[in-house]
Amino acid sequence: MPSKYFPLPDDSPRESGEAGRSLLGNSNTNAKQPWQPTLRNSILSTMALVLYSLGISWVTKVTVQGPHQLTAPASIPHPDEKEYVITTTGQPGDSWVHNLVYGEPSPEVDDAWFDLFKPFNTRVPAERYEASMGNRSTVRVNDGSGDYYVTLTMYHELHCLMRFRWFLHPEYYANKTWEEQAADKGLMGHYRHCIWSLLESVMCNGDTSMRTFHWDPKKPAPKPDSPAERKCVNWDWLYKWTSDRSFLLQDRMLTHPKFGLLDEKLMPVYPKEGGDQP
């Protein structure tokens, strides 16, 4: 099913690299010429002294400068601007969320998902982008403002979650059977890309809110509880913040340097003229 608001990337998951080689390697030590005990002890003592000195230097740096010296990654909006709330997640009864997850495929459910990440295409003022991202380049919008075009990670993750929902209904969204869907390498590659992306986000954010357990009188194993009290971003505030700074592909705000103005499907508006605008 084509997207109304954002491009669907045709990405594949990153392939794992070559297996690491042994750090030990082949020993060329001549067994007939063992180390002298005094030389070995001197080397070990020197190494210990160097490690001790490095440890002292690190502790001193943390003590003097504080533990928060890592430069925060670029974030729009800045973490200090976000509004947060303490809320209990995992509770049943939210009919809107329930319908997004369990609702049968329908235009109404699809519209609800698209509205959820309607601000997928975000524009960032040049001075703010350049202050945050340095020399890393990205596409600019074409209205003469100089604003840069980005997508916030949270909207990419929502896109991935929606794609997994599509996976549950291949006949409706892909016009395929389960077997045909599993055999579609491009489709399955996109799902694996999404798994990779969500896995990275979980490990990156490291949510340490605690989930509790209770004893089940009928089973010996502790049973996990779904509700958890968490510090969450104020979604209504953040959604409005990004909505006020977003655009739709239908707005035709992107112009390729070679192919010219792009439409809502990211195709050239003037293909016959080689992409040049009249």
Over the Cα atoms of the chain, what is R_g?
Answer: 27
Q: What is the pLDDT of residues 41-86, one digit of tens each?
A: 554 555 555 444 444 444 444 344 444 445 555 567 776 678 888 8
Does the pTM exceed 0.85? no
Mean pLDDT of 212-228: 92
pLDDT at 278: 45
Residues near 257 by beta carbon (within 8 Å), at least 6 away in sequence: none
From 260, 230, 264, 270, select the one nearest 250 (Cα to Cα): 264
Res 13 pLDDT > 60: no
Half-sphere exposure of 23 (CA within 13 A, CB side): 0
Length reported for the chain: 278
Measure the CA–CA gap between 229 and 241, rounded to whole angstroms.
25
Measure the CA–CA gap between 73 and 69, rounded to whole angstroms.
12
* Strand, coil or helix: 233: strand
pLDDT at 136: 87
pLDDT at 81: 78
Half-sphere exposure of 111 (CA within 13 A, CB side): 3
Residues near 149 by beta carbon (within 8 Å), at least 6 away in sequence: 121, 122, 123, 138, 139, 140, 141, 253, 254
